[in-house]
Amino acid sequence: MITSVLVANRGEIACRVFRTCRESGIRTVAVYSDADANALHARVADTAVRLPGAAPADTYLDAGLIVKAAVASGADAVHPGYGFLSENADFARAVLDAGLVWIGPPPEAIEAMASKTRAKELMGLAPLGEVTEADLPVLVKAAAGGGGRGMRIVRRLEDLSAALESARSEAASAFGDGEVFVEPYVENGRHVEVQILADTHGTVWALGTRDCSLQRRHQKVIEESPAPGLSEQLTHELHTLAVRAARAVEYVGAGTVEFLVAGDKAHFLEMNTRLQVEHPVTEAVFGIDLVAEQIRVAEGHALADDPPRARGHAVEARLYAEDPARDWAPQTGTLHRFAVPESVRLDTGFTDGDDIGVHYDPMLAKLVAHAPTRAEAVRKLAGALERATLHGPVTNRDLLVRSLRHEEFTTARMDTGFYDRHLTDLACCGTGDPYAPLAAALADAHGRSRFGGWRNVPSRPQTKRYEAAGEEIEVHYRHTRAGLEADGVRVVHADAALVVLEVDGVRRNFEVTRYGDEIHVNAARLTALPRFPDPTAQHAPGSLLAPMPGTVVRVAEGLAVGATVEAGQPLLWLEAMKMEHKITAPSTGTLAALHAAPGQQVTVGALLAVVQPTS
């Protein structure tokens, strides 16, 4: 029997595994980098072991260091979570060689499926050889990849070379393996996958299907189970192929087989030899705990002959600290307040007051809703997200709510091109509630009339300026003998935390919370602007500023001051939160200054380069 589990991971998945371990009476051990010294997963574990350093390569990707931590802490088993070393066969062997229980598939199975090229060969498939115009569009993929990293869509033959170079660079950085391959890219396909669970006695379960078509940067955003609209015949085919893949490598434990579905035809993508981020939707539909089943299988227990019956529908949304309107730029800062309605399941690695740093993936949490029907589950999840309290950096919350309520999603007609078609409308929907800035101003003005805000003679209205969703907003109000007033509304109540406005006979409440210049009014996020702009904050025209803190991973080959550049030409690449971000020339002109070099750490707003526009 397993008595103590070390989770070789961090954040949300570590907390998720710890929850099951506690319910099972199993002691928990966390590992943490210096950047995660105060992280939730390190705080909630029974024991925590420091991994010196901050970079993943020095900490969560150091197999020897983690095995040493497991032995030192007295753990008798290791759960890899997902990402990092979860699909590393050498790490699995090192755990077993140390006399520990590996809560995962055999190293040989991991090895067989680790390379997407080898996995395709096992399934009787092969990547493209020399690419021609007739093959376009194609997808460049990292052979050892996952999470959307090392992937590039190529629609023009002349772009293939740059895409291969970029994908190799990102793959080598993320996985330590720069091997990439090319396969046909299926336009408007659906990403459908099958959860499998296998024991050491020859039983393999296929646990329904999941649709993960809503993706950004090839990373999933919204997932659901079962995948809607599949025929019984196609579902049966997917289950058969998934079980065949598992048996081909004598798989043990939880895994996922992924497909791209176009019409009634399924294209095998890959097999993930680990637990998936989206596993909670399968748990909700089948009423099981996959982590608990992983532990039971690792202890040698047999699965029942048949899996439990599915019931209802489940939908999951991934909440990210990122700005979809700014090319999904990751956000950092303090998460002041984070609470969601109890009607949904919350899996997270953050709590009030935690810092969101630059070193790791920007996912804050997963919210999961389960209901008897798809429509009810979607409505339940959208409502919970809308009512969630999120005080801190910009998130994709509004995008998620709008996506869940989009007609293409509610009618189950979505595919992997959903955000390519609809991002502009979904991410750039104005500043939200039009009365939120006024409520913020009135809350700020509370009590000032006693100290000179009110005048005995008519005067100009008071003015406040805010920034919301990239737009500047100016609001006006007055201090009067009767209290605070504003045109077009009746101020029923106003204090520092609550403003009640009546508009056309309808009374509305606004909860206001302020953290310095950051103000949250219900679900709206505002930034208070100074009355007079700071003249020292100005930059020359054509200045390229870092949109986020990160590391300069490379500069365009041959780029030097004085070079002529074209509008949209890539100049350099930043890596932040496990993703590469391309910095391009804002206009055609001459590179007047270059302040970035590979390996350089930069802060948000740092001057990277200056392009002098052509007259």
Torsion angle of the four alpha carbons 354, 355, 361, 362, in this order, in degrees rounded to the nearest 10: 90
Burial (Cβ within 10 Å: 0-12, 13-18, ≥19) of residue 134: exposed
pLDDT for 513-526, tens place per residue?
999 999 999 999 99
**CA distance to 172, 486, 492, 500, 553, per residue, from 503 (Å):** 57, 11, 10, 10, 52
Query: Collapsing DSSP states into helix, strand and coil, what is residue 97?
Result: helix
pLDDT for 532 beyond 90 = no
pLDDT for 143 beyond 90 = no
Q: Would you place residue 119 in the very low, low, confident or very high pLDDT band (cuts 50, 70, 90)?
A: confident
pLDDT for 536 beyond 60 = no
Q: How many other β-carbons are positioned within 10 Å of the β-carbon of residue 198?
A: 24
Q: What distance in Å separates the CA atoms of residue 266 and residue 235, rounded to the nearest whole number?
A: 10
In 277-312, beta strands by DSSP E: none
Report the pLDDT value the prediction gives residue 457, as an integer from 0 to 100.
53
β-bridge partners, 290: none
pLDDT for 62-115, tens place per residue?
999 999 999 999 999 999 999 999 999 999 999 999 999 999 999 999 999 987
Sign of the CA dihedral running 580, 585, 590, 596: negative
- Degrees to nearest 5, angle at CA 580 with 14 and 555: 145
Longest dimension (CA), the chain: 88
Instruction: Give the residue-averaged pLDDT of 537-555.
Output: 81
β-bridge partners, 509: 500
Report the pLDDT value the prediction gives residue 246, as an integer from 0 to 100.
95
Q: Would you place residue 410 in the very low, low, confident or very high pLDDT band (cuts 50, 70, 90)?
A: very high
Instruction: Give the residue-averaged pLDDT of 413-440.
Output: 89
Instruction: Give the residue-averaged pLDDT of 232-251.
Output: 95
Instruction: Give the residue-averaged pLDDT of 205-224.
Output: 95
Report the pLDDT value the prediction gives residue 452, as an integer from 0 to 100.
46
Report the pLDDT value the prediction gives residue 534, as an integer from 0 to 100.
55
Report the pLDDT value the prediction gives residue 565, as an integer from 0 to 100.
92
Q: Would you place residue 178 in the very low, low, confident or very high pLDDT band (cuts 50, 70, 90)?
A: confident
Q: What distance in Å separates the CA atoms of residue 232 and residue 20, rounded to the nearest whole number?
A: 33
- pTM of the predicted protein model: 0.86
- Per annotation, catalytic residue among 274, 345, 397, 525: 274
Report the pLDDT value the prediction gives residue 533, as an integer from 0 to 100.
59
- CA-based nearest residue to 521, from 445, 449, 432: 432
Q: Do 542 and 613 contact (CB within 8 A), yes or no?
A: yes
Domains of the chain, first to last: 4-103 (3.40.50.20), 113-184 (3.30.1490.20), 195-401 (3.30.470.20), 436-528 (3.30.700), 538-613 (2.40.50.100)
Bigger pLDDT: 345 vs 558: 345
Q: What distance in Å separates the CA atoms of residue 414 and residue 189, rounded to the nearest whole number?
A: 9
Residue position matching structure tokens 């003015």: 463
Q: What distance in Å separates the CA atoms of residue 472 and residue 498, rounded to the nearest whole number?
A: 23
Q: Do 377 and 344 contact (CB within 8 A), yes or no?
A: no
pLDDT for 429 beyond 70 = no
Total residue length of the chain: 615
pLDDT for 207 beyond 90 = yes
Give percent of the chain with pLDDT exceeding 90.
70
Average pLDDT taken over every residue of the chain? 91
Determine whether 274 is an active site residue: yes
Report the pLDDT value the prediction gives residue 238, as an integer from 0 to 100.
97
Q: Which two tokens stand for residue 498?
A: 């609550």
Q: Do 191 and 230 contact (CB within 8 A), yes or no?
A: no
Report the pLDDT value the prediction gives residue 431, as an integer from 0 to 100.
61
Q: What distance in Å separates the CA atoms of residue 192 and residue 196, rounded to the nearest whole number?
A: 13
Report the pLDDT value the prediction gives residue 198, as an integer from 0 to 100.
98
Q: Would you place residue 233 in the very low, low, confident or very high pLDDT band (cuts 50, 70, 90)?
A: very high
Q: What distance in Å separates the CA atoms of residue 332 and residue 321, rounded to the nearest whole number?
A: 7
Q: Which two tokens stand for residue 243?
A: 């079980």
Q: Which two tokens stand for residue 11?
A: 């954040």
> Which residues are CB-contacts of 544 (< 8 A; sequence separation ≥ 6)?
571, 583, 585, 586, 607, 608, 609, 610, 611
Report the pLDDT value the prediction gives residue 535, as an integer from 0 to 100.
52
